Amino acid sequence: MEGEQHQQQRNARDPRAAYGRIREAGHAAGAAPGPYTGETYYGRPVLKPSPFDWKVSLYIYLAGLSGSSQVLATVADLAGGERSRTVVRNGRHIALIVVALGPPLLIIDLHTPQRFYNMLRIFRRTSPMSIGTYVLSGFSLFSVVAAAADFLAERSGPGQIGAKLLPAPLRRPGAARTLATAAGIPAALFGAGMSTYTAALLAATSTPLWSAAPRLLGVRFAGSAVATAAAALSLSARIDGAPESADTLDTVAAAATAVDLVASVAADREYEAEGVDGALRETKWGAMHTVGALATGAVLPLACYALAKGQAAATPPSGRNRERDESRRRRPSRGGNGSGSSSAALSVLASLAVLAGGLMTRHSTLSAGNVSAKRPRDYFRQAQPRLADGSRPAPERIGATPRYDVDPGGDGRLKRTRMPA
């Protein structure tokens, strides 16, 4: 009994044993635990960087592009009617990109084809990778059904391929189109997951840059996914001669790009507050993030969209010249001086910039995260318990003499002491 009491008294005065009571006592007394101020082990990394490379960056980009394209196609199908047939058809075709390239990219990255199959044998609701496997599988299944039914519905006339391949119940007028719409709804739901689950997959790791601002990372990926999908559909709509649909998609792309830009700026400030922004400030991936993802992928497109809207508003089509103005919008003039051709050129430039910026956003985030995993001080800084006001310890305090606020007596009175060896 005396030995147990002696051990309890010893533990009560041991900072390591009292550390479990620091947080509660610190909040009660208005103080907070001190920051981690110890040295690293000869500067060696604490974490092992992920093996993710350009293949995973490309998959994340295509997953967001294809998933949001399916979402936009389904919305256009349900709300736009026949006027949006071009958007619906192109959106369902773009959705097939990740269906065709996604599994090969993942299997190549896993190095063993059986691993993808093994992930389908179990389901873990706490694992973003497990959820992502089923999201990709469900998205692929319903996207293929929706695209195939839509393709055959447009070719279901006498003697056409749809009349030969479709079963008898689907040969009735509108039956195949109804099947495509019905399959598009769950495909769009899975598509929303495709646009965001990769952010959850990265944020669930211990990599400092990925886990420092998980919600903002999800908003960034979602905004970029919608923006790239709308930009791709806008380009395809202009190629197919549907400028009205392209203008609507440009508005969607501009709004999503603005959300992406705001979330990116907020995330950069959060990285700085968390002390993990060095991987972006001091490496080449920071230049790709700033010049490529933000300037090229957000600021330039927003400027182009604003100029295009301004030109369109400055030259409204009159009743007498409406046909001529519509003709100019559909077919750019040779000299390129018409307002319609200038607006179309700005739209194309903005769409290309959004597509390029979306890819650079994914790759710079992935690569800079791997760099942050090699920086031990980034990890130790982020691993510190938050102060009473919710902030992290100041970065300049890291590297000072190791001292801790402890509660040796258990009465809520904190004492400044050194951590024993």
pLDDT tens digits for range 69-128: 999 999 999 987 788 889 999 999 999 998 999 888 888 887 776 667 777 778 888 888
Instruction: Work out the end-to-end distance of the chain between its first and last CA atoms, rounded to an integer number of angstroms.
Output: 28
Q: What is the pLDDT of residues 12-50, one digit of tens each?
A: 444 444 444 444 444 444 444 433 445 566 678 888 888
User: Cα–Cα distance between 333 and 339 in angstroms, integer?
Assistant: 10
Nearest to 156 by CA among 143, 142, 169: 169
Nearest to 187 by CA among 140, 123, 132: 140
pLDDT tens sequence across 266-318: 999 999 888 888 888 888 999 999 999 999 999 999 999 999 988 877 766 54
- 229-239 exposure pattern, b = at least 16 Cβ within 10 A, e = fewer: bbbbbbbbbbe
Residue 237 and residue 90 in contact, taking contact as beta carbons nearer than 8 Å: yes
Closest CA to 65 of 401, 358, 344: 358
Say whether pLDDT at 406 is over 80.
no
How far is the CA of 76 from the CAs of 94, 96, 176, 185, 335, in angstroms? 14, 17, 17, 11, 34
Nearest CA to 88 among 100, 97, 79, 99?
79
Q: For the whole prediction, is pTM greater than 0.95?
A: no
Residue 87 main-chain phi, psi, to 5 deg? -65, -40
Structure tokens at 393: 């310890």
Which position has the token pair 């979602």?
222
Band of pLDDT at residue 391, cut at 50, 70 and 90? low
The token pair that represents 395 in the structure block:
């970065």
pLDDT value of position 333: 38
pLDDT tops 60 at residue 189: yes
Asked whether the beta carbons of 305 and 346 are under 8 A apart, the reply is yes
